[in-house]
């Protein structure tokens, strides 16, 4: 069964059809994929096949507007192996080539801007070198951002909660957690050790007791971070990255007014990486005869 | 002489008049202000007077479009003392009140967003408390961002270069510096000690020799930072803050391709603070009978 090369409408039809097949398959005890694919097809996935298998499980997919598009390669190319990661760095591309995996599923942009516009900075030499490197190794890159956040539970949030051993404190679709009361310092140490972070930046009193946590991995932007803080009045806001002049200054002032709110900045890449690690674990059982491997793009910084 | 309450056009006229008076005063050896103001006026500056005295020295001022507006207080209020700083934090407001200074000139926003829109986050309790605190103490706040960067030399850049003892390596209006070749680590140590930084984040090889530096304090945004990197090919980009998914990932990839480019992230507030310190030194001699004091809003973070 070939799924590639279809228009969005066609994919929606296929997706609906697969869901129906999946429902039937559920009754028969086989996976939706197995119900649709003949045994000989199992090792013959195209990039489009993989995307369709994933999108079946995303509510409302495919989206009319999304940044989750192919950034290199072709939907019709045969997949030799899959890498999940946060950022398709040059090192990740080289590692994928070494592993003979030609499909990278990455949470964040490849070309340093949200829409992956290669002309964002005119004549960008590094963009050109990266495009050439991807082409040289025949590697397809799919951004998997909006869809993974739309999964229920949110794929990133779920990965982070699992990594932190905090699944029991979260509710699907919500960013607020209720944890057993503990001082801020203990939360900092817990995240540093469970997510293996070099270092974090904090605004707050380390002895302050916390139990209501707003967990916002990645870069939500100041407006959404401050809105979450104002609306939920958490004891601590845990984020990936901030605009310092927005969220950080808001927290500094709130604290000066005696509000019981702190901020922990984990770093963007490391704050969401567990969600892309979980993607590999989530995707592997849906496929046969092909390897899905997570490689962490990791913290880019030295802290000096 | 009253300067407040005029329209922009009127202010331009006054500014032109003051410049002419200044030119005449230069010949006579007295300051432009002294040439215009009668002795009795000297301790009777309004907020508008101070703004006009400053704007005389900014090329092209007043600007039609600028975020440099009054964020609280009134242009007609009599100034009791002036504080310069990066962020008008709650602590800075309290310190100003203690010092009986009712005019704060700050480089960055007061209400956590670029245009200081108080409705940026609806019903923001901290914004309301801050507005009330400013009102309670009768403090005027003027953002002084676009104008200070438009000064020649750029007020922020000049302050940072002076603080770093690097005036001789910069040229007015340019962000590129040529320094005697030194390893990246020495540059990191030099900025940490001269700007009194707790810690910085770095991407690069600490032993790498550097001599061409792009110095971009504050938050230039990814597009301008990456454009500067692409256009000038500096050995190191020194910035205030970054969007991690933009500039940091670009630098990580450029390095993986073997490019000799590093990144030092100083922190937003601390990277530009010397420019607001220099403003106090620059402004004080232009006024008589009123104190201009710099208070650093400082690094909001604990690094753990």
Is the CB of B300 inside 8 Å of chain A's CB atoms? yes
**Whether residue A292 has pLDDT greater than 80:** yes
Helix (H) or strand (E) holding A263: strand A262-265
Are A268 and B245 a contacting pair at CB < 8 A?
Answer: yes
Distance CA B150, CA B173 (A): 9
DSSP assignments along B221-263, one per residue: -HHHHHHHHHHH--SEEEES---IIIIIHHHHHHHHTT---EE
Q: Which residue has the tokens 């995307």?
A: A51
Structure tokens at A23: 């429902």
pLDDT at A39: 42
- pLDDT of A248-264, one tens digit each? 999 999 999 999 999 99
- Read off the pLDDT band of B25 (50, 70, 90): very low
Is the CB of A275 inside 8 Å of chain B's CB atoms? no
Phi, psi dihedrals of residue A293, rounded to the nearest 5°:
-125, 135
Q: What mean pLDDT comes out for the span A223-233?
A: 98
Distance CA A138, CA A134 (A): 6
- pLDDT of B100-145, one tens digit each? 999 999 999 999 999 999 999 999 999 999 999 999 999 999 999 9
Of A99, A68, A72, nearest to A83 (Cα)? A99
Structure tokens at B172: 């007015």
Distance CA A293, CA A93 (A): 13
Mean pLDDT of chain A: 89
Q: Which residues pair with B297 in a beta bridge?
A: none
- pLDDT of A85-124, one tens digit each? 999 999 999 999 999 999 999 999 999 999 999 999 999 9
Helix (H) or strand (E) holding B293: strand B292-294
What's the gap in Å between the CA of B36 and the closest CA on chain A? 39
DSSP assignments along A220-232, one per residue: --HHHHHHHHHHH
Is the CB of B113 inside 8 Å of chain A's CB atoms? yes
Distance CA B124, CA B272 (A): 27
Are B230 and A268 a contacting pair at CB < 8 A?
Answer: no
Q: Give the residue from A117, A249, A260, A298 with the most B CB atoms within 10 Å of its CB, the best one to mutate.
A: A249
- pLDDT of A20-61, one tens digit each? 343 433 444 444 444 444 444 457 999 999 999 999 999 999
What's the gap in Å between the CA of B42 and the closest CA on chain A? 35
Structure tokens at A214: 């707003």
Which chain A residues touch B86 with a CB distance below 8 Å?
none
Q: Which long-range contacts (CB under 8 A, 24 or more apart) does A39-44 make?
A: A41/A1, A42/A287, A42/A288, A42/A289, A43/A288, A43/A289, A43/A290, A44/A78
Are A87 and B243 a contacting pair at CB < 8 A?
Answer: no
pLDDT at A205: 98
Of A288, A272, A283, A209, nearest to A238 (Cα)? A272
Are A89 and B302 a contacting pair at CB < 8 A?
Answer: no
Q: Which residues pair with A214 in a beta bridge?
A: A176, A237
Structure tokens at B177: 């510096």
In eight-state DSSP terms, residue A138 is T
Nearest residue on chain B to A268, alpha-carbon basis? B244
**Whether residue A293 has pLDDT greater than 50:** yes
**Whether residue A3 has pLDDT greater than 50:** no
pLDDT at A304: 97
Of A280, A300, A252, A59, nearest to B250 (Cα)? A300
Structure tokens at B175: 């962000």
What's the gap in Å between the CA of A157 and the closest CA on chain B? 19
Nearest residue on chain A to B224, alpha-carbon basis? A121
pLDDT at B42: 58
- pLDDT of A207-221, one tens digit each? 999 999 999 999 999
Give, in degrees to the nearest 5, the angle at Cα B268 between B160 and A160. Answer: 155
Distance CA B304, CA B131 (A): 33
**Whether residue B212 has pLDDT greater than 50:** yes
**Whether residue B13 has pLDDT greater than 70:** no
* Threshold 0.90, pTM exceeds: no
Are A126 and B303 a contacting pair at CB < 8 A?
Answer: no
Q: Give the residue from A192, A256, A270, A298 with the most B CB atoms within 10 Å of its CB, the best one to mutate.
A: A256
Helix (H) or strand (E) holding A158: helix A155-164
- Read off the pLDDT band of B172 (50, 70, 90): confident
Of A254, A182, A253, nearest to A212 (Cα)? A182
Q: Which residue has the tokens 């999108």?
A: A55
Which chain A residues touch B89 with a CB distance below 8 Å?
249, 252-253, 256
Helix (H) or strand (E) holding B157: helix B155-164
Give, in degrees to the nearest 5, the angle at Cα A218 between A213 and A220. Answer: 80
Could you tell me the CA-to-CA distances from B8 to A89, A191, B48, B64, B205 in Å, in that order? 50, 53, 12, 8, 51
- pLDDT of A164-177, one tens digit each? 999 999 998 899 99
Distance CA A75, CA A52 (A): 11
Q: Supply the ipTM of this predicted assembly.
A: 0.87
Inter-residue contact A201 to B301 (CB < 8 Å): yes
DSSP assignments along B177-225, one per residue: EEEEEEEHHHHHHHHHHHTT-S--EEES-TT-EEEEEEEE-S---HHHH
pLDDT at A172: 85
């Amino acid at each position: 069964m070939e799924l590639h090369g279809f228009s969005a409408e066609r994919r929606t039809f296929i997706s609906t059809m697969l869901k129906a097949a999946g429902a039937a398959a559920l009754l028969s005890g086989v996976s939706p994929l197995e119900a649709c694919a003949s045994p000989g097809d199992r090792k013959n996935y195209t990039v489009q096949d993989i995307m369709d298998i994933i999108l079946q499980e995303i509510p409302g997919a495919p989206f009319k507007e999304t940044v989750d598009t192919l950034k290199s390669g072709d939907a019709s190319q045969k997949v030799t192996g899959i890498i999940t990661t946060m950022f398709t760095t040059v090192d990740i591309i080289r590692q994928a080539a070494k592993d003979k995996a030609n499909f990278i599923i990455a949470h964040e942009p490849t070309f340093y801007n949200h829409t992956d516009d290669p002309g964002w900075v005119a004549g960008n030499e590094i963009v050109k070198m990266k495009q050439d490197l991807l082409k040289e190794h025949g590697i397809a890159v799919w951004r998997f951002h909006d869809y993974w956040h739309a999964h229920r539970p949110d794929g990133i949030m779920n990965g982070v909660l699992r990594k932190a051993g905090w699944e029991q404190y979260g509710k699907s679709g919500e960013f607020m957690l209720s944890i057993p009361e503990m001082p801020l310092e203990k939360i900092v140490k817990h995240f540093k050790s469970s997510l293996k972070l070099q270092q974090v930046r904090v605004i707050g009193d380390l002895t302050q007791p916390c139990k209501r946590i707003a967990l916002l991995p990645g870069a939500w932007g100041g407006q959404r971070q401050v809105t979450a803080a104002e609306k939920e009045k958490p004891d601590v806001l845990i984020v990936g990255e901030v605009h310092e002049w927005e969220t950080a200054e808001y927290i500094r002032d709130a604290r000066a007014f005696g509000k019981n709110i702190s901020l922990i900045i984990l770093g963007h890449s490391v704050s969401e990486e567990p969600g892309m690690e979980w993607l590999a674990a989530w995707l592997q059982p849906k496929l046969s005869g092909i390897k899905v491997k997570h490689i962490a793009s990791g913290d880019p910084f030295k802290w000096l």
